[in-house]
Structure 1
Amino acid sequence: MTASDPAFHALPDLIAEHARQRPEHPALRCGDETLSYAELDALMDRIAAALQRDGVQPGQCIAVCASPSVRYAALFMGALRAGVAVAPLAPSATAEALASMLRDAGARLLFVDTDAALRLPAPEPALPRIALDGAAAGRAFGDWLAPAGTRPQPVAITPETPFNIIYSSGTTGTPKGIVQSHGMRWAHIRRGATYDYGPHGTTLLATPLYSNTTLVVFVPTLAYGGCAVLMPKFDALHYLQLAEQYHVTHTMLVPVQYQRIMALPQFGQFDLSAFRNKFCTSAPFRADLKADVLARWPGGLTEFYGMTEGGGTCILDAHRHPDKLHTVGQPAVGSDIRLIDEAGHELPAGEAGEVVGHSAGMMTGYHGQPEKTREAEWFDATGKRFIRTGDVGRFDADGFLTLIDRRKDMIISGGFNIYPSDLEALLRQHPAVHDVAVVGVPSAQWGETPVAYVVANAGAGATAAELKDWANQRVGKTQRLADLRLVAELPRSAIGKVLKRELREAYGAAR
């Protein structure tokens, strides 16, 4: 495969080609374990053959609930070789949510590790379990595998073949299964040519394999013959140690991880000169944090704005546009990004509206939920399909998109629209504020009213009342905070999104 090759290639075939050309080149590292491309390719064959032996058909699904590991990554790739889709599930989910996701996915087999098994629902006889770490959580992975040297029956993989079912983080309620195809992943692979992936590259991944955030860079790393280094659990100092040890060239981090890394006093002691490109997505990335990364961390910095559901991407190459750090960039090549109003009418340039997008990288739909799929779609006058993001934004004169807030997070108080991001930006200006989230809570007088949750800087002496008064003196009457609460930390998903639903529920429960 070359960067200009437009022909579709399935990821398992690309891995096989690397195994023929560079068999000893490392493909996966995690802790003390390393798999070369030859070893990965052979293990994928054994996994695919075992799935075929167990009657798992192309287009069907297996589920994985475990921490990142070499075996987890190999299982994912081996299933793809058999034409089987993978549903990677978050071990941090509740037993009830995991049971719901397993039923929704229609998984034929469940692969777990010991830690994840403790959170899983009671075993279902119809769903065999295989333990990736060889513990008592299920049949040992080594015993389940087909014998060494076994080759699977060839399977034709097309762009329409399901690649995975990613379950939404659940920040707005019950997770939905997002079906992504090989064609969607191929769009990510082709885009990777822009970012210097290749056999020379090493990508450090500190986010979980069940997250689309991780797969956006994991997939092109293997497609171009690089090495993926997996961290089972993120630790800022250990991250820097690995980055220096393996001369890391690429990485994907969410904003809160960048924040923790940049805050380390030891940051400047590490040799990070091998970095070529750093990526960020999944949550708001503050302009001042982007500027700090640009100033102190070698290599480019690229922010991707989009959804797991796909539909369209905006890209900000921050190192090329240091004057646009307050934006999420311009629509990527092949992405059609538009803005619509509450009635679904397209808006002219300069007006703020909900962001919708179309591209080659779009989900097939929500698994088994056609009604939810239709709710997520918008069609223009020609019938062209777009995916709704739920974000409110505005394009500037140069075509860069500035996000204003999440549509669902917008607070309507006394008939006035209040954007939590405006209040959060204001509170961050106070020297005592380390982190903040603003949510809307029910109000008998106004319908909704804003409440702030603040994480104070260590040693800060400001009280909640003082911070509330400080903020309310600087905003209009309709934006004033009804309450401000100091908390030790904000609830976040595994990829750094603040779980505002939990804050709203906690406020209601505490009243």
Structure 2
Amino acid sequence: MTSAQPLIPLIVDPAPSTTALLEQAARRWPDRVAVDFLGATTTYARLADQVAAAAQVLRDLGVGPGDRVALVLPNCPQHVVAFYAITSLGATVAEHNPLAAPAEVQAQLQLHGARVVVAWEHAVAAVLPEEGQDRTVLAVNLAAAMPLRTRLLLRLPVRAARAQRAKLRAPVPDGVGSWDDRVAAAQGPRSAPHRPYETTPDDVAVLLPTGGTTGTPKLVPLTQANLMANVAQGRQWVPGLREGEETFGAVLPFFHAFGMTLSLTFAVSMGATQVVLPNFDVDMVLAAMRRRPWTFLAGVPPMLDRLAASATAEDPQLLRPLRYAISGAMALQPEIADRWETATGGLVIEGYGMTECSPIALGNPFGPERRPGTLGIPFPGTEIRVVDPDLVEEDPDAPDVPDGEVGELLVRGPQVFGGYLDAPEETAQVLLPGGWLRTGDLVRRDPADGFVALADRRKELIVSGGFNIYPSQVEEAVRGMPGVVDVAVVGLPDTSLGEHVVAALVLEPGASVDLPSVREWLQDKVSRYAVPRDLHVLDDLPRSQLGKVLRRHVRERILALRERSGG
């Protein structure tokens, strides 16, 4: 193996568990605001009490060590409470996208078998048990966590209030209890204080859905040791953050590894105030910053660019408190980094990772040595290799490629997972002997300073707006549409999203299929962000000698067609 830079040692001791993070924060900063949700605030002491009450609710439902509890929630205070309550019992949080297609959520529920589900009212219908299934569903009212004035305004008998209520709330079927009511009822005097389960480093804290490097839906178990290692690595990476003084913008979804780590665990470890928003909206973010200025933000490049543009036009001083920002999920273009740093006067760096890495494995340093447009260097305690992907397929000990040449990135460190849930064959495809994780990404390591730059994606997933989209899943859904003979799904460059989804179709003779009909067909079959934004009808699809559709050639053909037609 070759190495362009020495291993950076991890010198920040990881906390023992998520429970320890919250206990420490509540002890050191009891009166500090832990969560600000659209102006409604919760202190760390109050948050700890709510977590204890929620843990009692779950315990009464039979939840104990090793059990799995599913969360199907947007960002909200109830999500924070449920996350810490579940892990305090030694149970596992199974995260789900509340906007995912019902079939996708049901498939994930079947994989992990959670008997208790805490779901946003709008997602309840997607998680109801089928006949014979042992599953308790509790509904979350998003409005219950909002300020009193907002709740009163939502009750007004006017069109705007009705429209806003419809976005936040939905009817709940009979037999589905209220999570909010049960937690509130459990906050009275208790016969005995809540004693958290003493977790071990190997206890599984969370299960996160992913397609991994193959695109097949899988669940990633992350242990307490994985999560706490990534928190400690982050604290060492941003030494300028001040304990008990920072304000984090929590706009990335908590059900995603990036948002989960940067908000649910890293922020709590710092005793930071989290300004939680249910979704990313530029006007909502700017209003929140006027109310409570942020000092730290994790986001994706389109998010940062839109914020910088809007704030510069509206109030050039609005973003100045933001000293640090971490960008991930897609490449951070140097011009976006420049615009952000001009608007804030602070620093933005790009980080690299994947769900299997809890999620961060590499990052640019916070300082003048940062290099926008690169993935950076390995996080503390993290090793990397750059190998020939074909050679390592046959020999895991194959030598690294020379620095400066393109190869597949391998990662090893305390934040790297130990294998997919109940999927030994898929695990064997990505975990090599010695704990090396195959990322599926092709990179080039600079021989001068060891900085790593992304060269290409060996895996064919599409990254749109920070979400991973697996072409095979979309193709399978489209293939069942009347009139469609074959389909290939690819990603094309998009300056605002990173990539957008394009479907190439081969149709039956005489069939007529257009983009609106495809989008309508897919509306309950795939997530919204995976629905194609463009459509091309081709006579055939390029294939390999074995008959496999060559998506790269499909993509090149579509780009050529666009160039000839002027876009």
The two structures have a TM-score, normalised by structure 1, of 0.78
Shift in CA distance, 10/118, structure 1 to aligned 2, threshold 3 Å: same
Gaps spanning 5+ residues in structure 2: where? 1-9, 145-170, 393-397, 462-489, 505-540
Q: Report matched runs for 1:120-199 at 5 Å.
A: 120=127, 123=130, 125-133=133-141, 136=172, 138-145=176-183, 146-150=186-190, 151-168=193-210, 173-194=215-236, 195=238, 196-199=241-244
CA distance in 2, matches of 1:44, 1:214: 20
Match of 1:401 in 2: 452
Task: Find 1:343's aligned residue among 391, 398, 402.
Answer: 391
CA distance in 2, matches of 1:75, 1:188: 21
Per the TM alignment, residue 249 of structure 1 is displaced from its structure 2 partner at its CA by 0.9
Per the TM alignment, residue 42 of structure 1 is displaced from its structure 2 partner at its CA by 0.7
Is residue 2:286 matched to residue 1:240?
Answer: yes
Task: Find 2:18's aligned residue among 7, 11, 31.
Answer: 11
Is residue 2:432 matched to residue 1:392?
Answer: no
Shift in CA distance, 295/273, structure 1 to aligned 2, threshold 3 Å: closer
Match of 1:315 in 2: 363
The answer to whether the 8 A contact 2:75-2:253 is kept is yes
| One-letter amino acid of the structure 1 residue matched with residue 406 of structure 2 | A
CA distance in 1, matches of 2:256, 2:244: 24
CA distance in 2, matches of 1:367, 1:213: 20
CA distance in 1, matches of 2:213, 2:314: 32
Q: Report matched runs for 1:272-351 at 5 Å.
A: 272-310=319-357, 313-317=361-365, 319-321=367-369, 324-341=371-388, 342-344=390-392, 345=398, 346-351=400-405
| One-letter amino acid of the structure 2 residue matched with residue 136 of structure 1 | V
Partner of 1:408, secondary structure, is coil
Match of 1:498 in 2: none
Provide Cα deviations, 1:287-309, integer angstroms capped at 9, x if missing partner. 22122222322222122111110
Q: Report matched runs for 1:71-150 at 5 Å.
A: 71-120=78-127, 123=130, 125-133=133-141, 136=172, 138-145=176-183, 146-150=186-190
| One-letter amino acid of the structure 2 residue matched with residue 144 of structure 1 | R
Provide Cα deviations, 1:309-367, integer angstroms capped at 9, x if missing partner. 01871111365235x22211111221111112112033232221111100110113211
Match of 1:357 in 2: 411
Higher alpha-carbon deviation: 155-164 or 441-450? 441-450
CA distance in 2, matches of 1:274, 1:50: 40
Per the TM alignment, residue 434 of structure 1 is displaced from its structure 2 partner at its CA by 9.4
CA distance in 2, matches of 1:237, 1:171: 36
Per the TM alignment, residue 35 of structure 1 is displaced from its structure 2 partner at its CA by 1.2
Is residue 2:563 matched to residue 1:468?
Answer: yes
Match of 2:31 in 1: 24
| One-letter amino acid of the structure 2 residue matched with residue 215 of structure 1 | M
CA distance in 2, matches of 1:394, 1:26: 44
Shift in CA distance, 274/285, structure 1 to aligned 2, threshold 3 Å: same
Shift in CA distance, 112/158, structure 1 to aligned 2, threshold 3 Å: same
The answer to whether the 8 A contact 1:34-1:70 is kept is no
Match of 1:415 in 2: none
Provide Cα deviations, 1:124-167, integer angstroms capped at 9, x if missing partner. 64110111218625201144333524333441112111110011
Partner of 2:320, secondary structure, is coil
Q: How many residues align?
A: 441
Shift in CA distance, 96/233, structure 1 to aligned 2, threshold 3 Å: same
The answer to whether the 8 A contact 1:318-1:325 is kept is no
Task: Find 2:555's aligned residue among 444, 448, 451.
Answer: 451
RCO higher in structure (CA 8 A, sep ≥6) = 2
CA distance in 2, matches of 1:58, 1:68: 25
Shift in CA distance, 181/141, structure 1 to aligned 2, threshold 3 Å: same
Partner of 1:266, secondary structure, is helix
Gaps spanning 5+ residues in structure 1: where? 411-419, 455-463, 470-482, 487-511
The answer to whether the 8 A contact 1:305-1:314 is kept is yes
Shift in CA distance, 245/204, structure 1 to aligned 2, threshold 3 Å: same
| One-letter amino acid of the structure 1 residue matched with residue 253 of structure 2 | P
Partner of 1:23, secondary structure, is coil
The answer to whether the 8 A contact 1:438-1:452 is kept is no
Provide Cα deviations, 1:427-450, integer angstroms capped at 9, x if missing partner. 97xxxx997659897326997424
Per the TM alignment, residue 216 of structure 1 is displaced from its structure 2 partner at its CA by 2.2
Per the TM alignment, residue 63 of structure 1 is displaced from its structure 2 partner at its CA by 0.2
Shift in CA distance, 297/343, structure 1 to aligned 2, threshold 3 Å: same
The answer to whether the 8 A contact 1:356-1:387 is kept is yes
Partner of 2:331, secondary structure, is coil
The answer to whether the 8 A contact 2:350-2:372 is kept is no
Task: Find 2:422's aligned residue among 368, 380, 385.
Answer: 368
The two structures have a TM-score, normalised by structure 2, of 0.71
Task: Find 2:44's aligned residue among 30, 37, 44.
Answer: 37
Partner of 2:356, secondary structure, is coil
The answer to whether the 8 A contact 2:12-2:235 is kept is no
The answer to whether the 8 A contact 1:24-1:36 is kept is yes
Match of 1:499 in 2: none
The answer to whether the 8 A contact 2:446-2:452 is kept is yes
Per the TM alignment, residue 112 of structure 1 is displaced from its structure 2 partner at its CA by 0.8
CA distance in 2, matches of 1:233, 1:221: 18
Is residue 2:223 matched to residue 1:216?
Answer: no
Higher alpha-carbon deviation: 69-78 or 287-296? 287-296
Partner of 1:290, secondary structure, is helix
